[in-house]
A = this chain, B = another copy of it.
Amino acid sequence: MELLERMAAALKILAHPCRLKVAEVLQREGSMPVHTLMEKVPLPQATLSQYLNQMRRAGLVRAERKGKEVWYEIADSSVLTILDCIRRKTGQRAES
């Protein structure tokens, strides 16, 4: 159950409205420092910082320090694909 747990852990980080919002902003607008992200996703600084850290540890985003700023971006295309899939899926809606 080792791989499954890592898969679940990564998905769980993405599975939160605010972290999804962060991911979408980074998907649309590329990389940016935390304070810019904070304008687009209005959250307490501590909260946003924690989210970004979780996302980085899960391999969803990549971080790079530039002077006193830290710039974040989506880590790779898998993440973009997952975002597209889940958005498409949830746009529709169908039960069974």
- A40-64 with Cβ < 8 A to chain B: 56-57, 59, 61-64
User: How many copies of this chain does the complex contain?
Assistant: 2
Known: A6-B90, A11-B14, A81-B82. 7 other contacts (CB 8 A): A7-B20, A7-B90, A11-B15, A11-B86, A62-B96, A78-B86, A82-B82
- A1-50 with Cβ < 8 A to chain B: 1, 3-12, 14-21, 24
Q: Which residues on the B side are within 8 Å of A68 (C-beta)?
A: none
Interface contact B7-A93, CB-CB below 8 Å: no
- The answer to whether the Cβ of A66 comes within 8 Å of any Cβ in the partner chain is no
- A67-96 with Cβ < 8 A to chain B: 75-76, 78-79, 81-82, 85-91, 93-96
